[in-house]
Amino acid sequence: MTQLPDPLVDASASALSRAVADRTVSCVEVVTAHLDRMDELESAYHALVSRRDRAEVIDEARTRDRELALGRVRGWLHGLPCAVKDLADAAGLPTTDGFLPVAEAPVACEDEVFVRHLRESGAVFVGKTNTPEFGLGSHTYNGLGPPTANAVDPSRSAGGSSGGAAVAVALGMVPVADGSDFMGSLRNPPGWNGVLGLRPTPGLVPTRDDSPFAVPCGVSGPIARDAEDLTRLFATMVGPHGDPSQRQRLAPAAEDTPLPRRIGWLGDLDGYLAMEDDVVSVARAALDPWRAAGSSLADVSFVDGHGFCLADDLWRTWLTVRHHEVGGSLAPLHADDRLWARMKPEARWEVEGYARLTVAELDRAVARRRGLLRCLLDLFAEHDLLALPTAQVWPFPVDEHWPRSIAGRRMDTYHRWMEVTTVATLAGLPVLVVPGGVDHRGLPMGLQLMARPGADWELLAWAHGAQRAGVFTVAAPTVRSGAGRT
């Protein structure tokens, strides 16, 4: 029989899965424990929206138990509670995009592809996780209710746009969760809430935005407290899907894969990025256990080349790509005066930027993205991983929309303070996020560990090895919730 902690919300998803399969615990018991945790903490943290009726959820868990009694196991998520980020469709639940009130939001008729994979693996959906308006900005606030509070200190931001998902996992409301990432949304929220995240190589996890004409920057991926859970959720989200251009034949690396031999520390990109006090020193110190466990660590400078200059090209390339994809997706709302007036200024700014774009600018952005990737591949010739902090500031007050300056430098847009995440996004790199230390207030920072495109399973194998070696630890939900209420 599987040994489980008390309370059940402290258990990993994989441990719960094994316990459900061997009948140590029932699906109803697992779901009820997590619903109780939601009832206990949701009013203080605001991680969830569109919660399903409790009796309805428990009845679905009871159905999963009856299936087990008949010898049917849908998959490793059989009977485990999940909540879908509220930018993705889940059949029977409204999709607000952090914009439309729940009562006005369309109820999805079918699951998004990766959501269907979760459902087919036995997940019991309890609702949706909170996101900022249209997923814009790395702070989970919108007009639908209070902002999502940090799991460690509820007076601080949880990050975004997967803030609700990261907090729900950190506090044990759900054992694992999906998120999405364009500019750090699978990196900053896990980093600021002390859990694990994976930004996959674009194209591995199918999304509703998949298109041969789209710039491959937005991705969906997993959030978890345990490397095994992160790997299993990622494999489920990838699933078998029908687009041959996106299907990649990848197999999980062996669990005994040694830690990466060579880690390159990029820090603040030789002063290019403005960083709050102690962000660089704390995050770099978090790599010392990796070195003690056998990885080499070296400070690395980004070298311009291949037609790409970091100081001149990174941000302007980012703005072009961002306006094209985000502004383009929101542009149809411009025709509806009522919706346009309701949109936050940052969303309207993206649409206006999209309207000004020229074909020549897009061509230059594509060329600069290729140059950036080639510069990074030069560094990967000497290093297995390249490391950066997940953010340039510590979690800021929850009632602040975004930092206006860092270390005396003005942030000229709502997302300039997250420029540290644009390197991996523009280059299409997979990124593993692990805890990266805390400051003197106990506020967390994460580490971005970037790998070559397509090295997702290798990254996950390194996460397994590092967690087993004690290179990083993830606090149990009961510890987090206790800390958050003091």
DSSP 151-200: SS-TTBB--SSSHHHHHHHHTTSSS-EEEEESSSTTTHHHHHHT-EEEEP
CATH homologous superfamily of 8-241+262-300+383-485: Amidase signature (AS) domain (3.90.1300.10)
DSSP 414-440: TTGGGGGGHHHHHHT--EEEEEEEE-T
Q: Is 440 exposed, middle or buried (0-12, 13-18, 19+ CB in 10 A)?
A: exposed
Residue 109: DSSP 8-state:
S
Q: Which pLDDT band holds residue 484 (cuts at 50, 70, 90)?
A: very low
* Arithmetic mean of pLDDT over the chain: 93
Measured between alpha carbons, how far is 292 from 38 in angstroms, rounded to an integer?
Answer: 39
In the predicted structure, residue 34 carries a pLDDT above the cut 70: yes
In the predicted structure, residue 278 carries a pLDDT above the cut 60: yes
Pairing of strands 444-450, 48-49: unpaired
Measured between alpha carbons, how far is 459 from 200 in angstroms, rounded to an integer?
Answer: 10
In the predicted structure, residue 275 carries a pLDDT above the cut 90: yes
Report the pLDDT value the prediction gives residue 213, as an integer from 0 to 100: 47
Report the pLDDT value the prediction gives residue 2, as an integer from 0 to 100: 84
In the predicted structure, residue 101 carries a pLDDT above the cut 70: yes
Report the pLDDT value the prediction gives residue 251, as an integer from 0 to 100: 46
Q: Which pLDDT band holds residue 39 (cuts at 50, 70, 90)?
A: very high
pLDDT digits (tens, 9 = 90+) for 223-271: 999 999 999 999 999 987 544 443 344 444 455 668 999 999 999 999 9
Q: Is 71 exposed, middle or buried (0-12, 13-18, 19+ CB in 10 A)?
A: exposed
Measured between alpha carbons, how far is 375 from 430 in angstroms, rounded to an integer?
Answer: 16
Token pair, residue 281, equals 């020193």
Q: What does the chain come to in residues?
A: 486
Phi, psi for residue 113 in degrees, rounded to 5: -55, -50
What percentage of the chain has pLDDT greater than the value 70?
A: 94
Q: Which pLDDT band holds residue 37 (cuts at 50, 70, 90)?
A: very high
What is the residue whose two structure tokens read 């009961």?
478
Measured between alpha carbons, how far is 269 from 218 in angstroms, rounded to an integer?
Answer: 23
In the predicted structure, residue 394 carries a pLDDT above the cut 90: yes
Q: What is the mean pLDDT of residues 39-68?
A: 97
In the predicted structure, residue 446 carries a pLDDT above the cut 80: yes
In the predicted structure, residue 382 carries a pLDDT above the cut 90: yes
Measured between alpha carbons, how far is 180 from 474 in angstroms, rounded to an integer?
Answer: 21
Contact 64, 27 (CB under 8 A): yes
Report the pLDDT value the prediction gives residue 139, as an integer from 0 to 100: 98
Q: What is the mean pLDDT of residues 327-343?
A: 93
pLDDT digits (tens, 9 = 90+) for 399-426: 999 999 999 999 999 999 999 999 999 9
Report the pLDDT value the prediction gives residue 482, as an integer from 0 to 100: 59
E-strand ranges in 256-411 read: 262-265, 296-299, 385-389, 405-406, 409-410
Report the pLDDT value the prediction gives residue 216, as an integer from 0 to 100: 72
Report the pLDDT value the prediction gives residue 46, as an integer from 0 to 100: 98
Report the pLDDT value the prediction gives residue 249, as an integer from 0 to 100: 42
Q: Is 239 exposed, middle or buried (0-12, 13-18, 19+ CB in 10 A)?
A: middle
Report domain extents, the chain. Answer: 8-241+262-300+383-485, 304-373
Q: What is the mean pLDDT of residues 207-235?
A: 83
Residues 6+ apart with CB under 8 A from 423: 266, 269, 314, 372, 376, 388, 429, 450
Helix (H, G, I), strand (E, B) or coil at 359: helix
In the predicted structure, residue 146 carries a pLDDT above the cut 90: yes
Region of 381 (left: φ > 0; alpha: ψ -120 to 50; beta: rest) is alpha
The answer to which of 76-90, 158-172, 199-213 has the lowest mean pLDDT is 199-213
Q: What is the mean pLDDT of residues 442-461?
A: 96
Residues 6+ apart with CB under 8 A from 268: 274, 275, 280, 392
